[in-house]
Chain A
Amino acid sequence: MTTEHAADHAADIDKHVKQYIAVFVALMALTIITVAISRLHLPVAEAVTIALIVAVIKGSLVALVFMHLISEQKLIYAVLALTVAFFVVLLFVPSLTHFDGFWVH
């Protein structure tokens, strides 16, 4: 009988808990940062880029540490790679193939 987590033993869990707390602090800081930057009222293109970068960092921390993705099995990575590919297509195909009002500001 095999279970999947290397983190089954108490010492491993202690190390993981330290990581959870560290990520929590990082997420709080990044939340403050993203709100503070929004107060600067940057032009749209810059504002969107910076906000997305911060959001991707926050999301990656949640996914890699809280969701244990950093130590997951290959099959999960494969499923997610496929998902990301389809997600990118889903996100941009409607806007890029719609010929009236493309990037109007």
Chain B
Amino acid sequence: MEIPYTVEVRRDTGLTNGKIGIWLFLASEVMLFGALFASYILIRTGMPVWPRGDSILNVPLATINTIVLISSSVTMVMAWASLKRNQFGRFRLYLGSTVLLGGVFLVIKYFEYSHKFENGLFPRTSNFLALYFTLTGLHMLHVIGGMTVNAYLWGPGAKLWKTNPEWFANRVENSGLFWHFVDLVWIFLFPTLYLL
């Protein structure tokens, strides 16, 4: 039995099932991160003193990470555009870059976290650090998830390009939507935790 509406749109929604599916999933993710941001607001406004982010966290490293994720969003959308232009080689290059940039993000986060631990700074140390590790930790899991899907689409999943290129392009686009969301969360996380 064939999976329906992977390429043609449904009459009632005007969308492919994958597209509406991923957007609904992103809506649920907004709730997930929203709950944590709400916790941040509640805890911070309930405390008489709150440390400035730059007094505890490494702003230069996080700025680099922000640039890394934004760049990976560009390479992600360029990967999709390359498929639309029938340039499979370029697609591989761009999607590969997206996965690599995700890897760079993780490496930088590893250095950030290990430096904290080496200095005796753990989630249990303070409310600020509890929120920092929870928010960035959950975000990091999303980065890993997105990288996994992208790596699949770069590797074994790319077989679909030969038999159904439009379906494959839609898959890349939907994976891209998730990846852009991960970037979007970081765009708000970065100033919230590091700059305020």
The secondary-structure label for the interface of chain B is helix
With A8-B84, A10-B84, A91-B34 given, name 18 new contacts (CB 8 A): A4-B9, A4-B14, A24-B74, A35-B63, A38-B191, A55-B191, A59-B184, A66-B76, A66-B176, A66-B180, A67-B176, A79-B27, A80-B27, A87-B31, A91-B37, A101-B45, A103-B45, A104-B47
Q: Which residues does B use to contact A, with CB under 8 Å?
A: 7-9, 13-16, 19-20, 23-24, 27, 30-31, 34-35, 37-39, 41-42, 45-48, 52, 54, 59, 63, 66-67, 70-71, 73-74, 76-78, 81, 84-85, 166, 173, 176-177, 180-181, 183-184, 187-188, 190-192, 194-196
Q: Are B15 and A4 in touch, CB under 8 angstroms?
A: yes
Once A and B bind, how many residue pairs between them come within 8 Å at the CB atom?
Answer: 149
B191: contacting residue among A8, A24, A34, CB under 8 A: A34
Q: Are A94 and B27 in touch, CB under 8 angstroms?
A: no
Residue numbers in A under 8 Å from B71 (CB-CB): 24
Q: How many residues of A contact B (CB 8 A)?
A: 58
From residue A104, how far is it (CB to closest CB) to chain B in Å? Answer: 6
The 9 closest A-B pairs by CB, nearest first: A101-B46, A38-B195, A51-B191, A83-B27, A73-B14, A90-B34, A94-B42, A24-B74, A1-B8
